[in-house]
Amino acid sequence: MNVVITGSTEGIGLGMAREFLARGHDVVVSSRRPEAVAQRLAELSHEFPGRRIVGQVCDVGDFDAVQALWDKAAGELGGVDIWVNNAGRDGRKVPFFMLPPEDYQLTVRTNLIGVMNCCRVAIPGMYQQGGGRIFNMEGFGSNGQVRPTIAPYGATKYAVTYLTKALALELKDTPVKMCYLSPGIVVTDLLVPPPEERGERWEQSKKILNILADTVDTVAPFLVDGMLRMDRNGGAVRWLTPWKVRRRFLMSLFRKRDLFGPLGV
């Protein structure tokens, strides 16, 4: 299969790219940063010499850039079977009234407008080629949960859930499938606040994260296996289910984890 993953030069996006390649599929990696794309393209090409790997700079908030991403993928790989809308940002974690407008505007542009742009490009492209699967990434707020200091991020994820559900209805009885992808809480550098913000609240958060979070190496294989098996429009691949959350809290009474030690936090 040919796979496009937006925001795939680091974190869970890069992890999924590696897992697809390890399973014998071809991948397009992308990022807004040219140097990141060039670096990952070189690394992955060395790591998986038998696979076709394409790198493309893409700001998902720019519709023309997204169209260029599709054109590059389709042109070099011959089509796109799976498109993963992974690119996103969480923004600064402060009360909304303290946020600079450019911060929340960029969050909305990336997390919501970016997903809309990608779906707008990928749906007709996949329809024309005879089918395909699009996966929209969920996050905190997707299910309606609310917490302070991440209002813009949570609002975009809630909106993406509605968008995904609506597009799945629109794509009923077509060869294009619109699906949900939920990685749960993944430990990356982006999850760790800067040193000046690591106060008592961070220590409390870290206790919960050590119960519920997982590493990229743990989550990425599950997500990729689920995407490869998914053949249902409106289907979901979800790592951290309610049952798993309850089990994690129960097991935390007997088993302690330190997921942030390797990050030096």
Q: What is the pLDDT of residue 218?
A: 97
For residue 144, tell me if it sits in a domain: yes
Domains in the chain: how many in total?
A: 1
Give the list of residues 6+ apart from residue 173 with CB closer than 8 angstroms, or none.
none
Residue among 7, 11, 1 nearest 220 (CA):
11
Helices (H) and strands (E) in the chain, counts: 9, 9
Average model confidence (pLDDT) across the chain: 95
β-strand partners of 236: 180
Q: What is the pLDDT of residue 263?
A: 80
For residue 10, tell me if it sits in a domain: yes
Q: What is the pLDDT of residue 199?
A: 82
For residue 236, tell me if it sits in a domain: yes
Which domain, by its residues, includes 222? 2-192+215-241
Residue among 127, 132, 156, 128 nearest 142 (CA):
156
Distance CA 251, CA 217 (A): 21
Q: What is the pLDDT of residue 57?
A: 99
The yes-or-no verdict on residue 197 having pLDDT over 80 is: no
Q: What is the pLDDT of residue 216?
A: 96
Q: What is the pLDDT of residue 189?
A: 74
Neighbours of 32 (CB within 10 A): 18
What is the identity of the amino acid at 31?
Answer: S
For residue 202, tell me if it sits in a domain: no
What's the CATH number where 167 sits? 3.40.50.720
Among 153, 158, 162, 180, the active-site one is 153
Is 104 catalytic? The answer is no
Q: What is the pLDDT of residue 244?
A: 93
Q: What is the pLDDT of residue 87?
A: 97
The yes-or-no verdict on residue 204 having pLDDT over 90 is: no
Distance CA 159, CA 151 (A): 12
For residue 199, tell me if it sits in a domain: no
The structure tokens listed for 131 are: 């089918």
pTM (2 decimals)?
0.94
Whose tokens are 């992308």? That residue is 30
pLDDT in tens, 99-151: 999 999 999 999 999 999 999 999 999 999 999 999 999 999 999 999 999 99
For residue 205, tell me if it sits in a domain: no
For residue 265, tell me if it sits in a domain: no
For residue 246, tell me if it sits in a domain: no
Whose tokens are 């979070």? That residue is 213
Label residue 74 by pLDDT band (50, 70, 90). very high
The structure tokens listed for 197 are: 């913000």
